[in-house]
Amino acid sequence: MFSISKRSDVEPFHAMDVLAEATRRKAGGHPVISMAVGQPSHSAPRAALEATRKALDEGRIGYTDALGTVRLKSALAAHYRDRHGLDIDPARIAVTTGSSAGFNLAFLSLFDAGDAVAIARPGYPAYRNILGALGLKVVEVPVTAETHFTLTPESLVAAEKEHNLRLKGVLLASPANPTGTVTGRAALKALAEHCSANSIAFISDEIYHGLTFSGEETSALELTDEAIVINSFSKYYCMTGWRIGWMVLPERLVRPIERVAQSLYISPPELSQIAATAALTASDELDVYKEAMLPTASSSCAGCRRSACRSLLPWTAPSTPMSMSRASPMTAWRSPSGC
Ligand SMILES: Cc1ncc(COP(=O)(O)O)c(C=O)c1O
pLDDT digits (tens, 9 = 90+) for 201-222: 999 999 999 999 876 789 999 9
24 occurs within a structural domain: no
Percent of the chain residues topping a pLDDT of 90: 79
Which range among 184-198, 275-289, 302-316, 325-339 shows the weakest confidence by mean pLDDT? 325-339
Give CA separation, 264 vs 2, 11, 173, 236, 327, in Å: 24, 23, 25, 27, 34
CATH of the domain at 111: 3.40.640.10
Output the pLDDT for position 50.
98
241 occurs within a structural domain: yes
79 occurs within a structural domain: yes
Which range among 65-69, 92-96, 335-339 shows the weakest confidence by mean pLDDT? 335-339
17 occurs within a structural domain: no
State the amino acid at position 311 in one-letter form. Answer: S
DSSP letter for 224, please: -
Return d(Cα 106, Cα 196) in angstroms, integer: 17
Q: Max alpha carbon distance in the chain (Å)?
A: 60
Output the pLDDT for position 36.
85
**Residue 317 pLDDT > 50, yes or no?**
no
pLDDT band at 322, cuts 50/70/90?
very low
Return d(Cα 240, Cα 43) in angstroms, integer: 9
Return d(Cα 188, Cα 194) in angstroms, integer: 10
Output the pLDDT for position 100.
98
The verdict on whether omega for the bond into residue 175 sits within 30 degrees of 0, i.e. cis, is: yes
Q: Strands 167-173 and 228-232, how do they pair?
A: unpaired
Query: For a pocket test of ligand 1, which of 124, 131, 325 has the largest count of ligand atoms closer than 8 A to its C-beta?
Result: 124
Could you tell me the distance, in angstroms and rounded to a whole number, from the CA of residue 128 to the centre of ligand 1? 13
Q: Strand pairing partners for 232?
A: 245
pLDDT digits (tens, 9 = 90+) for 28-38: 999 999 888 88
The binding-site residues of ligand 1, defined as CB within 6 angstroms of any ligand atom, are: 38, 98-100, 124, 173, 177, 205, 207, 232, 234, 240, 245, 330-331
Decide: 246 and 231 in contact? Cβ < 8 Å.
yes
265 occurs within a structural domain: yes
Decide: 160 and 167 in contact? Cβ < 8 Å.
yes
Mean pLDDT for 94-103 is 98
Run of H or E residues at 172: strand 167-173
Q: Could you give the number of structural domains in the chain?
A: 1
Contacts of 57 (CB under 8 A, 6+ apart): none
pTM reported for the whole predicted model: 0.89
41 occurs within a structural domain: no
Number of other residues whose CB lies within 10 A of the CB of residue 7: 11
Domain extent, residue 176, equals: 46-283
Short-list 60, 65, 68, 127, CA closest to 97: 68
Q: Is 114 left (phi over 0), alpha (psi -120 to 50) or beta?
A: left
Could you tell me the distance, in angstroms and rounded to a whole number, from the CA of residue 2 to the centre of ligand 1? 33
pLDDT digits (tens, 9 = 90+) for 116-133: 999 999 999 999 999 999
Radius of gyration of the chain (CA): 20
